[in-house]
Amino acid sequence: MSQPEPLARLIGLLARLPGIGRRSAERIALLLVRDGPGLAGELSLALANLPARVKCCSLCGNVTLAEADPCRLCTDPRRDPHVLCVVEEADDIPLIEKAGVFHGRYHALMGRLSPMRGEGLHNTRIEGLLKRVREGGVQEVILALGTNVESDATAAFIAHELARAGLKVSRLALGIPAGSELAYSDPVTLSRAIQGRQPV
């Protein structure tokens, strides 16, 4: 039994969103049909307005109102322009902001090097980072990337390029999470925590 075309089209689009599989898309579409114009209409309007009103900051990649580009974090004079925190995704930025100890500027890569998936060194945001650093002013870079093969490769590549430019480069410390017990830590995390042990 085939679905009505407008429904099939919506399901196809929903299934392209991250974390939504075919079945979820069907459930969501059915709910929107049952709900009548209400939620579907509100969503349609919110989506129609989005592209004109919100964008990624042309400097750091953070989400920002279109009329505020560069974003608030890039233009705040109280933030140290000499220290740059490099993250993988724009939505990592609020996480670091919440930690409350970083007061420099950001640069979101919007991805990482993934030669396996054919995503090579031509990531324009990585090139943008190197350009940004070459233009001067940045003295220190903190790589706040994930801890998996692709993130490690990305960090190694960027660290190599930045070290050639004479910058101070660091990565987030690897260790056991705050509030956790040793029993729940995997051997790799524990070995990194031992290697990176801190004097008390």
Based on the shown chain and the rule CB under 8 A, indicate whether residue 18 belongs to the binding site for its own copies. Answer: yes
Neighbours of 25 (CB within 10 A): 18
How far lies 91's CA from each of 87, 109, 139, 145, 146, in Å?
9, 11, 24, 12, 13
* Nearer CB in complex with its own copies: 100/187: 100
Distance separating the N- and C-terminal Cα atoms of the chain: 68
- Among 83, 110, 167, 193, indicate the residue that binds its own copies (CB under 8 A): 110
- Distance in Å, CB of 121 to its own copies, minimum: 20
Dig out the tokens for 94 from the structure: 């609020």
Decide if 173 contacts 196 (C-beta within 8 A).
yes
Q: Strand ranges (DSSP E) for the chain?
A: 54-56, 63-65, 80-87, 104-108, 140-144, 168-171
Least separation in angstroms between CB 196 and its own copies: 29
100 touches its own copies by CB under 8 A: no
Read off the tokens for 80: 């140290």
Q: How far is CA 29 from the centre of its chain?
A: 28
* Candidate segments 29-37, 112-120, 144-152, 164-172, binder of its own copies by CB under 8 A: 29-37
Burial 103-130 (b: 16+ CB within 10 A, else e): ebbbbbbbbbbeeeeeeeeebebbebbe
Q: Which of 22, 48, 137, 190 binds its own copies (CB under 8 A)?
A: 48
Q: Which of 80, 91, 120, 131 binds its own copies (CB under 8 A)?
A: 91
Q: Residue from 22, 39, 75, 190 that binds its own copies (CB under 8 A)? A: 39
The number of angstroms, rounded, from the C-alpha of 61 to the middle of its chain's C-alpha atoms is 9
Residue 76 binds to its own copies (criterion: CB under 8 A)? no
Q: Which DSSP symbol is given to 17?
A: S
Listed ranges 11-19, 78-86, 143-151, 159-167: which one lies at the site for its own copies (CB under 8 A): 11-19
**At 149, which amino acid appears?**
V
Tell whether residue 24 is a contact of its own copies (CB under 8 A). yes
Q: Identify the residue among 28, 87, 109, 169 touching its own copies (CB under 8 A).
A: 28
- Report the residue number, 88 or 150, with the smaller CB distance to its own copies: 88
**Which residues of this protein are in contact with its own copies, per CB under 8 A?**
1, 3-7, 9-10, 13-14, 16-20, 24, 26-34, 36-37, 39-51, 53-56, 63-65, 73, 89-91, 93-94, 97-98, 110
